[in-house]
Amino acid sequence: MNHDLAFRLAVPADAAALGDFMARNFLSAYGHCSTPENIQRAITEHYGEVAQFRQIQDPSRWNLIALSSDDWSGHAQLKTGGKPPAGVSSVPAVELSRFYVDVKYHGQGIAQRMMQAVKARARELGASCIYLSVWQDQPQAIRFYSKEGFSIAGTLVFMVGNDPKDDWLMVHPLD
C-alpha cells in the first residue's frame, strides 16, 4: 500500500503533464491493439495536451489526479450529462470515462483508493449509478471493476482511430 498517496483535482496548468501521462498509459494498455497510425490518432484526439486542456475546463467533467510522492500515479475522470447508453437503466448516471493507474504503481492499492474517491464524487453528484466501457481484451481491468461492484450490462464500440474495438458496458449501482 502506498502511504504517500495524495489526490487533487486537475487544473488547466496540468494539461501537458496529464497529456503525457495519458499518452504513456494508453500506449502501454492499448498500443498493441491497432496500427501505429490509429494509436497516434487516438492519443492526439482524446489524450493529448490540447484534449486534456479542453476536458479539464469542461464543467461536465471531474478530473482526479493521484500523486505518489509527487509522481503522477493515476487519473480518473467522471463525466456528467448526456444520455447514458442502452443497458444503463438507472438515472441519473455518471460515466467513468477514464481510470488509469501507471503500471509501475499496480498492486499498491492506488486503484482501490481512486475508486473510493470516484464513488464518493458520484454520490455527491446525486448519481444512482456509475457506468464505464472497458475493452473486452483487458481481463485485468474487467476483474478489478467486477471486484469493485461493476457488472456487465451490454456492449459498446470504442474507436481507436478508425479501428473499432469491442468494449463491455459495465454498471455499478450506488446505494
Provide the residue ranges of all domains of the chain, joining segments of one domain with +. Answer: 5-173
What pLDDT was estimated at residue 3? 60
Q: Is the CB of residue 104 less than 8 Å from the CB of residue 140?
A: no
Single pTM value for the model = 0.92
Residue 125 in grid coordinates: 453528484
Kindly give the parts of the chain with pLDDT less than 70: 1-3
Q: Which CATH class is domain 5-173?
A: alpha beta
Q: Cell 505518489, residue?
A: 68
For residue 71, the one-letter residue type is D
Residues 6+ apart with CB under 8 A from 122: 78, 94, 130, 174
CA distance 160 to 139: 19
What pLDDT was estimated at residue 1? 53
What pLDDT was estimated at residue 100? 95
What pLDDT was estimated at residue 172? 98
